[in-house]
Amino acid sequence: MDFVHRSIMLKETIDSLKIMPEGVYVDGTLGGGGHSLEIVRRLKGKGRLIGIDQDTDAIKAAGGRLEPYKERVTLVHSNYSRMKEILSELSVPFVNGILLDLGVSSWQLDNAERGFSYREDAPLDMRMDRSRTRTARDIVNDYSETELYHIIRDYGEDRFAKNIARHIVMARKENPVETTGRLCEIIKAAIPGKYRAKGGHPAKRTFQAIRIELNQELEVLKGHLSEMIDLLDDGGRLCVITFHSLEDRIVKNIFRTAENPCICPPDFPVCTCGRISKGRVVTRKPILPGPEELSENSRAKSAKLRVFERVLE
């Protein structure tokens, strides 16, 4: 199966990066290389693109797409959490732009064997990096009822989290839960009938929660987004596309703190904490997909783009 991924808000993201032809740019979530291709097309001279992805299928697919520009492209199989180390290894002190397109790709969802989709029956996997050994099956079968409840409540924001966790534990006592299809049936049984038809597929939130927990998506974002701002040169921009409220809230709060890091009490006449702003939030409200994109790609409907610009004093 070919790695096909429709890049979300492609024009809006490329415009927001304000690409300098001889700049250095990092795509921290390379995917199929759609955003990267538009970036590298605008580069010349010393311009350079560094693409990072933890999925080897993505690296392979993007490598083929970016082949005509290979002299200015470096692809790295890793998690964007290692961006600082990767740039250091490549002797790149600062960059002019960074892009993160978070969440699961269309290809990963549509490729049933990867186990991300609740619409296809497949082994419970959900690993973005298949070199790792732990899978979604381990979480579903090994986590305690309390642990399952917490991740479904916190990462899935599902009102029936407690009941879903209880049903999973009851079901696995009979036989281990091995497939996405069986997990879907368990989840459906845990949700009252009158609510199943509302808000999309009943398993959507639980699958999201397990995927986030397995791949440590929110921890990585929280732990490294501020660090990425420090990697930007003066005027460099960080663009982040999110797909659910948990990610968006983290990005919004970190950007806000980077712009105004002062922790002095509000009634202090002058700042005494000495914390210095890293730049400015470009997007007071997130950029959303336009009506044309929404009509062509239903997966764009929850996307939000936020942008931060580095300003060195």
Share the mean pLDDT of the chain: 93
Higher pLDDT, 271 or 30: 30
pLDDT value at position 193? 81
Residue 204 pLDDT more than 70?
yes
| pLDDT, average across residues 258-274 | 88
CATH code of the domain made up of 134-215 = 1.10.150.170
pLDDT value at position 112? 84
Angle between helices 145-156 and 204-215 (to 10 degrees): 100
Model's pTM, two decimal places? 0.92
Residue 1 pLDDT more than 70?
no
d(CA 61, CA 1): 11
Residue 70's pLDDT band (boundaries 50, 70, 90)?
very high
pLDDT value at position 152? 98
pLDDT value at position 174? 95
Extents of the domains making up the chain: 10-107+217-310, 134-215
pLDDT value at position 6? 67
| pLDDT, average across residues 221-229 | 97
CATH code of the domain made up of 10-107+217-310 = 3.40.50.150
| pLDDT, average across residues 115-137 | 93
- pLDDT per position as a tens digit, 268-290: 888 888 889 999 999 999 999 99
State the residue for tokens 């939130």. Answer: 205
Higher pLDDT, 135 or 103: 135
| pLDDT, average across residues 139-153 | 98
Residue 107 pLDDT more than 90?
no
